[in-house]
Structure 1
Amino acid sequence: MTTLNPYQQPIGTPLPGWTARPLPPHTPLAGRYCRLEPLDAARHADALFEAFSHAQDDRVWTYMVEGPFADITAHRAYIARIAAKRDPLQYAVIDARTDRPVGTLALMRITPDHGVVEVGAVTFSPLLQRTPASTEAQFLLMKHVFEDLGYRRYEWKCDSLNAPSRQTAQRLGFQFEGIFRQAVVYKGRSRDTAWFSIIDADWPQLRATFEQWLSPDNFDETGGQRASLAALRSA
């Protein structure tokens, strides 16, 4: 139903009682397969460098603003620099089985007045990619944003040419919203940016799907998934 103002102009849905959302506190978030810890160079940098050393090449850094890094000293300096910021607000992903960091991700472009925040700087090592922990890390941050902080909109943006990132966004339940042309310059090249979002109205259904997918019952004896996220959403 369209809302009209006294001039008979269509306007957005009223939000009586809306107040600015809180800034995200930089606190740990715990799950079954992983936990998120505030990124700390002294605690995480060397182990992250080791985790990324398992990669066959440097392709994980292609669409990142920085990297790859020639040695552990350069990587330590990078982790120290990004860990000191509060937007982006960086987290280390800790594998619950090994208690070691295996990747990072961040909340960024945090806009409390509008209840909007973006997840970004997702950098997962081969030890985290394609594991239940990688999905749970995303779920923990989404749940924190929607349920603990009460935000209305959760965004995902990436280079429009980054096919794996676009596929991941859609697998996680983000809806594609379009391409912003020539939105960014990084590493000496132009970037068209693909935009995706989840809004608070989407969250209850997505939460149920994530919880069903992450259940131990959804994995066989070899760790293979019995049902995909997409199949569960369709069901």
Structure 2
Amino acid sequence: MNRRRNMVISAAAALLSGLLVYGVYVLQLRQVKFQETVSVVVPVRFVAAGERLTTDMLGTKQIAKALYSPEMSVRGDELSGMEVVVPLGAGEPLLDWKLDKFRLLPSRSQSTFGIPRDYVLSISNGIRAGDKVMLYVSGETVNSARLFQDPVTVASVKTAGNVEIDDTKNPNLMSLANGDKEGMYASRRDANRMIDYINLNLTEDQWLQLDALCKGGRSKVVIAYSSESLNAGAPAKEQVR
């Protein structure tokens, strides 16, 4: 009986010893990884949202390789001229999603299309340049449905006099750049002129799909403000043509 108990105790001790050795090995391995560093780009001072980066605003910082993310920038010369989307603290690693080059211009796969007025059934009156919008199709020949799965970017919205719609005392783009949700809401509330022309950044396939549905006159699109513009947008009023 004592012999069996001693064997169990010895086996348990061996197991615990093995686990201890493995734990020490894992800790040492993690320590080695943290000792390896990588140089990332950081701002040398606080940078407000909406500012454009210059080379004298940027420096480098060594961080543990284990903390490095592919979204972090490692070459400062590639960031000059980029616009800051959200405020940046001094010494904070620059992440790709916090910067943008030309927020209102189409991407490589897109072009800016002016949507003909007779293609539009209704449009949210609170839409501004830089917003994300959802497009829906409605008409006699099709079932009402979302036209594109993902939101598209508004390049500009203008009146019949070719004037950009905005609140001159509280520009929407400035509020958007600063992440000011209250300011964006106020801009939409106070700038209540009618939208006569809207330009959207679309791919060629998206435009051809929209044009094929609407050029006969039996189908039209509803353009709705998407909360993705600021992750939590204010409800927009709908303007029916």
Both structures adopt the same fold (TM-score exceeding 0.5) = no
Structure with higher RCO (Cα < 8 A, 6+ apart): 2
Q: TM-score normalised to the size of structure 1?
A: 0.24
Larger radius of gyration: 2
